[in-house]
């Protein structure tokens, strides 16, 4: 039996993945951003542990990591929490960061760096990552005119970059990204045409399956099938640049294999 944390799992795809894990005999650890959402999560999956923290703030990210570590060693983490592409304006967090970047990218980096490293990591990206721009010089949208769709696309590109970087720097970990498709969640909207169930099943498959096809690293999937990515995903300079910026913004270093090469300087 595996113990798996799923961020953003009080509803939507994250909760679906948690329920699927539980049905398969695994222990799902839920995450909610506040006590009210935590109550919803407990009602939806009785008996499951719930960690609480708002991933738009560094304080909340560290709260989630501390609570997760207190539960004992995790076998996997699914980085599912995200803000969508309909954000009409640039919102700045208490830490002075773009909220879309903080929740969609930096939180995944901080949790990956602060939670005792599990065997498997899964990052939710999007097909829109292929329209992303690897604009490392303006991650916070301080100079560009705000565009919610572009900010989201960029963030999903960086989620895939982070997944690939960890696969390179931590050969002891299976780190992969996926796109669930355009599915009928709060983010995707009620008319989204893709299969919601398959989006959750791919998360569960990557984080828990013993299939040889799932026990890989540095790959990108759609409905359990490998897909091509934006060229920046496997660009080591982009990977190292993103990691260095995230380390500087968060004050947290990604623990890496000593034989691998990366510096935050």
Domain ranges of the chain: 3-250
- Lowest-pLDDT choice from 108-117, 193-202, 244-253: 193-202
pLDDT at 224 over 70: yes
Q: In which band, very low, low, confident or very high, does the pLDDT at 181 lie, cut at 50, 70 and 90?
A: low
- Lowest-pLDDT choice from 52-61, 64-73, 126-135, 249-258: 249-258
Q: Which of 152, 215, 222, 259 is catalytic?
A: 152
Give me the mean pLDDT over the 230-251 stretch: 98
Q: From CA 205, how far away is CA 213, in angstroms rounded?
A: 10
DSSP H helical ranges for the chain: 12-23, 35-44, 58-70, 99-101, 107-114, 148-169, 196-208, 236-250
CB atoms within 10 A of CB 222: 17
Spell out the residues 6+ positions from residue 264 whose beta carbon is closer than 8 angstroms to its own. Answer: 243, 244, 247, 248, 253
pLDDT at 183 over 60: no
Q: Is 220 a catalytic residue?
A: no
pLDDT at 10 over 60: yes
Q: In which band, very low, low, confident or very high, does the pLDDT at 154 lie, cut at 50, 70 and 90?
A: very high
User: Under a CB-based contact definition with an 8 Å cutoff, are residues 204 and 150 in contact?
Assistant: no
pLDDT at 260 over 50: no
Q: Residue 140, by phi and psi: left (phi above 0), alpha (psi -120 to 50) or beta? A: alpha
User: Under a CB-based contact definition with an 8 Å cutoff, are residues 95 and 102 in contact?
Assistant: yes
pTM of the complete model: 0.92
The reported pLDDT for the residue numbered 240 is: 98
Question: Which residue, chain included where needed, has tokens 């329920």?
Answer: 19
Q: Is 156 a catalytic residue?
A: yes
Q: Which has more confidence, 252 or 182?
A: 252
pLDDT at 184 over 50: no
Instruction: Please spell the DSSP secondary structure of 140-177, one letter per residue.
Output: T-SSSPP-HHHHHHHHHHHHHHHHHHHHHH-TTSEEEE
- Lowest-pLDDT choice from 44-53, 58-67, 173-182: 173-182
pLDDT at 9 over 60: yes
The reported pLDDT for the residue numbered 167 is: 98
pLDDT at 110 over 70: yes
- Lowest-pLDDT choice from 22-26, 128-132, 147-151, 186-190: 186-190
The reported pLDDT for the residue numbered 76 is: 98
The reported pLDDT for the residue numbered 187 is: 54
Fold topology of 3-250? Rossmann fold (3.40.50)
- Lowest-pLDDT choice from 142-151, 161-170, 183-192, 239-248: 183-192
pLDDT at 194 over 60: no
Q: Which of 85, 109, 156, 220 is catalytic?
A: 156
């Amino acid at each position: 039996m595996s113990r798996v944390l799923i961020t953003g799992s009080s509803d939507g795809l994250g909760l679906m993945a948690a329920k699927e894990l539980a049905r398969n005999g695994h222990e799902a650890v839920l995450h909610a951003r506040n006590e009210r959402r935590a109550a919803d999560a407990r009602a939806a999956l009785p008996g499951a542990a719930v960690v609480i923290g708002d991933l738009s703030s560094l304080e909340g990210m560290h709260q989630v990591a501390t609570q997760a570590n207190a539960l004992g060693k995790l076998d996997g983490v699914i980085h599912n929490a995200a803000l969508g592409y309909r954000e009409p304006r640039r919102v700045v967090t208490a830490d002075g960061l773009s909220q879309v970047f903080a929740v969609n990218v930096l939180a995944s980096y901080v949790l990956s760096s602060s939670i005792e490293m599990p065997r498997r990591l899964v990052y939710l990206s999007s097909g829109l990552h292929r329209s992303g721009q690897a604009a490392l010089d303006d991650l916070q949208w301080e100079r560009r005119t705000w565009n919610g769709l572009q900010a989201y696309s960029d963030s999903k590109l960086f989620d895939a970059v982070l997944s690939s970087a960890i696969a390179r720097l931590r050969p002891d970990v299976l780190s992969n990204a996926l796109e669930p498709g355009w599915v009928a969640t709060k983010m995707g909207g009620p008319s989204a045409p893709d299969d919601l169930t398959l989006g959750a099943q791919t998360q569960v498959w990557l984080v828990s399956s013993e299939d040889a096809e799932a026990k890989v690293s540095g790959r990108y999937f759609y409905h359990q099938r490998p897909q091509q990515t934006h060229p920046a995903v496997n660009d080591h300079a982009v990977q190292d640049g993103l990691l260095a910026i995230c380390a500087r913004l968060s004050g947290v270093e990604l623990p890496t294999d000593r034989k691998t090469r990366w510096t935050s300087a």
